[in-house]
Amino acid sequence: MKHAQDELSKRGARRKILVVEDNDLNREMLCAVLQQKFDTIEATDGIAGLEALDEHRTELSLVLLDVYMPRCDGFEFLRRMRADERFDTLPVIVATASDSVDDELECLKLGANDFVLKPYKSEIIMNRVSNMISLRESASLVNDLTWDDTTGLYSKELFYRTVEDILETNPNTEYDLVCSDIDGFSVLSDRYGTEKCDELLRALADQLRDKLPGYVVGGRIGADVFAFLADHRPSWPAEGPQNALGDLPVPNVSVKFGIVERIDRAMTVSKACNRAMRALETVKGRHGLLIALYDDDLHQRQELEQTIRETMEKALEDLQFAVFYQPKHDVSTGKTGGAEALVRWTHPEIGFVSPGLFIPIFERNGFITKLDMFVWEEACKEIKRCEELGLPAIPISVNASRLDFDVPDLPARICAIADKHGVDHALLHVELTESAYAENPDAVVRMLNELKGLGFSTELDDFGAGYSSLVSLNTLPLDVMKLDMSMVRQATATGDFRIVESTIKLAQVLGLKTVVEGVETAEEARRVTEMGCDLIQGYYYSRPLSKDDFEEYLRDNANEQQDVPDTH
Ligand code: C2E
Ligand code: CA
Ligand code: CA
């Protein structure tokens, strides 16, 4: 008994007890006794008790409850309290008369935890109350600091604490932290059910515990995420601990590993796990890659990503984004026949950031839709400015991210921007990639039809970049096909232009105009011109230009002698 009371006082703060008792004398007596060690709150019947429960819910450690009271008795109080999940674990001690076994039974059924007999005896009350509180608190502690039933690994909290201990008591030993994660675990759960997946987790935990090189201790830190402390090894094989794995109860399971080498003791274990998981994310869902180390490179990349995410909104407000224009050479006229709007970001601290870097990040966090609307605005302003300068009117293509097609009124929005600036819809083209179509085919087809109906042109970007399917060519309402620059690169490297040529022919058969992208040399320009492409975009003619340079380019280009290349 003494032990329980000591335990409580060791943990400091006085616990608070709700005393629900209608008899004034009894209540005052109870409170006077309890106040030697505890704070008390008094309620004169069940209703007042429930109100006090609600008001002090986070402060209470226990309820001491009389059974017979007016308005709302102890049974009713228990019934209502236990129906409220906020009070699931709050212990209740019920005061009963010595001859009321039935009452006790009823209270037990309703969720009472213990009893004291009336008339009250102060020492017994004190002990019962202290014991109950102490039991509850250590139970919840054990709950956090325990083993995971399914796998036998440590719980997350216990793993963290154990690793901290090990690091502290072995200051001169170097350790690695290894996190494992099962690819597509939720899909497996759906397919094989919880029981089978628990079996899988257990088998995986067993195998890793046995065979992970240098295994020290392991914990389950997420549904299908394990973390292991292992002795540091100079190099982890590319297949990672995977080759330590034997048969698993579910077929074709791919386990990925993220590793932090030589854990930095200045870092919390949970942060080290975070880093291992961030390394792991880079190989998740990617076939053939099983293991990733958290290194400086990844660290810097992720810091940069973080900076980009934190500063993007302000960057848009502060006009750090600018739109550049890359001219497209029209083969039939020898003049500029269009341009592609390409966004640029000059960050005040980082400097120039490549769209190849920030666009994928914005596609992950959704910011791309906002940025693309900005690009539409800028493109419209540019068309107007060229018109005011008396430059030839040429269409500008704007890239639409696959996420843009999640915005149901995208066509209406683009239309509103064009109309606000008084721009002829025929001068605006939408460039989309096939991945947009693959993800959301119905919406993409509907929106492209809508856009075409409104007078905009549609271009399929990056055709031949790896995801191309002939089905999308057939299904999408398109005006233009852009051949991905990898096609020209490949053709130049091998001297074999047959794929470029037949792709151009294919587009022609389908009634599509063609743009060949990434043309860098006179030879490439000549070859694709011969093959009948309509427009050429690439460094050979021009890099993407700032709006001032673009206007100058158009001016020079308009004044130049027309030079139609010889196609024979
Ligand atoms: P993309 O749409 O395929 O754009 C063409 C990219 O190729 C541009 O890179 C352009 O500068 C580059 N390029 C053009 N000609 C040549 C050449 O002859 N040789 C080589 N090596 N490269 C050439 P950039 O501007 O870095 O843009 C990269 C990608 O970022 C774009 O690929 C596009 O997917 C995306 N992007 C750029 N601006 C936007 C935008 O405003 N919205 C959206 N959603 N995506 C954009
Ligand atoms: Ca493009
Ligand atoms: Ca492209």
Q: Which CATH superfamily is domain 156-294 in?
A: Reverse transcriptase/Diguanylate cyclase domain (3.30.70.270)
DSSP assignment string, 457-488: EEEEEEETSS---HHHHHHS--SEEEEPHHHH
Percent of the chain with pLDDT over 90: 64
Give residue 299 CA to ligand 2 midpoint distance, Å. 30
C-alpha of residue 461 to centroid of ligand 2, in Å: 6
Q: Which CATH class is domain 309-556?
A: alpha beta
**342 CA to centre of ligand 1 in angstroms:** 6
Vertex 385: Cα angle to 384 and 391 (nearest 5): 100
Q: Which atom of ligand 1 is nearest to the CA of 354?
A: 26
Q: Name the token pair of 547.
A: 């709006």
Nearest-angstrom CA–CA distance, 133 and 566? 93
Greatest mean pLDDT range, 180-184, 187-191, 192-196, 313-317: 313-317
> The whole model's pTM is what?
0.66
Question: 2-142, what's its fold?
Answer: Rossmann fold (3.40.50)
% of the chain with per-residue pLDDT over 70: 93
The sign of the dihedral angle between the CA atoms of 323, 326, 328, 329 is positive
CA 515/CA 460 separation, integer angstroms: 10
**Mean pLDDT lowest among 48-62, 227-241, 392-406:** 227-241
Task: Please give the backbone phi and psi of residue 132, each rounded to the nearest 5 degrees, phi first.
Answer: -60, -45
Burial 277-286 (b: 16+ CB within 10 A, else e): bbbbebbbee
Our mutation pick for probing the ligand 1 site, out of 342, 407, 428, 468, counting the most ligand atoms within 8 A of Cβ, is 342
The protein residue with its alpha carbon nearest to ligand 1, atom 11, reads 544
Residue 8 has what pLDDT?
A: 43
- Residue 453 predicted with pLDDT over 80: yes
DSSP symbol at 242: G
**pLDDT tens string 217-235:** 999 998 899 999 999 998 8
Domain residue extents for the chain:
2-142, 156-294, 309-556
DSSP annotation string for 285-304: T-TT--EEE--HHHHHHHHH
- CA 288, distance to chain mean position in Å, is 23
Q: Are 279 and 259 in contact (CB under 8 A)?
A: yes
Residues with CB under 5 A from ligand 3 (ion): 461-462
Distance 357 CA to ligand 2 centre (A): 15
CA angle 387, 393, 396 (to 5 degrees): 105
Q: Among 96, 117, 133, which residue's Cα sits nearest to residue 1?
A: 133
For atom 20 of ligand 1, the residue with the nearest CA is 518
Ligand 1 centre from 363 Cα, in Å? Answer: 15
Round to the nearest angstrom and report the end-to-end CA distance of the chain: 104
Q: For residue 375, give the ligand 1 atom closest to its CA.
A: 41
pLDDT at residue 488 greater than cutoff 80: yes
Among residues 128, 553, 175, the alpha carbon closest in space to that of 335 is found at 553
Q: What share of the chain is helix, strand, coil (3-state, %, to 5)?
A: 50, 20, 30
